[in-house]
Chains A and B, each alone.
Chain A
Amino acid sequence: AQTVTQSQPEMSVQEAETVTLSCTYDTSENNYYLFWYKQPPSRQMILVIRQEAYKQQNATENRFSVNFQKAAKSFSLKISDSQLGDTAMYFCAFVNPGSGNTGKLIFGQGTTLQVKP
C-alpha cells in the first residue's frame, strides 16, 4: 500500500526565519508526483509546490523549495523568510498516475506550523 508519513505534528518558527517540514512516503512505483498543500485556519486547501518523480532537480516556488530524495523516499518542504501568513496546516501528498488512475491523492497526517512574530 502507498502511504505518506509526516512525523512532525506541530512546529513553530520565528518570523523571517527558515523552517523545514518533513515527509516520507512509501511506494513501489517509479512514476509519481508529490505535492505540498497548505490549509490555513480558513480551511481552503492551497497547492504550494509540486515535484515530478522523474525530475532530479528540486522544485522551487518563491520562498518555498523542496528537498526530494527519491532513493530515500523523502520529500521535505523548506520555507524561507517565514511570514505570519504561512501559519497553517501543511500536508504532503502523493499521486501515482498509473493505468486508470486520474489522480487519487494520498495525504499525510499534516504538520501544523505556527509562525511567531
Chain B
Amino acid sequence: ETGVTQSPTHLIKTRGQQVTLRCSSQSGHNTVSWYQQALGQGPQFIFQYYREEENGRGNFPPRFSGLQFPNYSSELNVNALELDDSALYLCASSLVPDSYYEQYFGPGTRLTVT
C-alpha cells in the first residue's frame, strides 16, 4: 500500500508569483483535502476534492484553487503569492464514506514566499 506523497518538499517563491503543489493519494482513496499549517499552529482546511469536484472550502480566497485527477491525485495552485502564504501545505487522502472520515497525511510542502 502506497502512502500519500507530496512534491516538492521545499519551495521558495517571490511575492506575486504563482505556485503549484502536487499530491498523490494513498492507493484506494477517493478524496483529497488540502490544509495550510503556519509555523507552530494547527492545520487550517483549504478545500477538499471528491470525485474530481470541489466538495467544501475553508476561509481561503479564490487565488487558492485546486484540481483532482481521475487517478485521485491532486494539485493545489496559489496565484499572486503573498508573504502570509508562507507555510507548510499538507495534503490528506481518505476513502469516503467507508473510512470513518480518517484522513492520512503526506509529508507536506514547505513554501517560503520572499
Contact = CB atoms under 8 A, between A and B. Distances in A.
Interface in A73-98: 91, 93, 95, 97
A105 B100 contact: no
Given A44-B108, A102-B56, A95 B101 contact: yes
B97 A102 contact: yes
Given A47-B104, A102-B31, A110-B42, 20 more contacts: A35-B102, A44-B105, A44-B106, A46-B105, A50-B100, A100-B56, A102-B96, A102-B97, A103-B33, A103-B96, A104-B33, A104-B48, A105-B35, A105-B43, A105-B45, A105-B92, A106-B45, A108-B42, A109-B41, A110-B41
Contacts, number: 71
Contact of A102 (B48, B58, B106): B48
B103 interface: yes
B100 A47 contact: no
Size bracket, chain B contacts: 20 to 34
Contacts of B97: 97, 102
Interface of B: 31, 33, 35, 40-45, 48, 50, 55-56, 58, 88, 90, 92, 94, 96-97, 100-108
Interface of A: 4, 33, 35, 37, 42-47, 50, 52, 91, 93, 95, 97, 100-110
A95 B100 CA distance: 10
B9 to A, nearest CB: 10
Contacts of B58: 104
Nearest to A93: B42
18 contacts: A35-B102, A43-B88, A44-B106, A44-B108, A45-B90, A45-B92, A46-B105, A47-B102, A50-B100, A93-B42, A102-B55, A102-B94, A102-B96, A102-B97, A103-B31, A106-B45, A107-B42, A110-B42
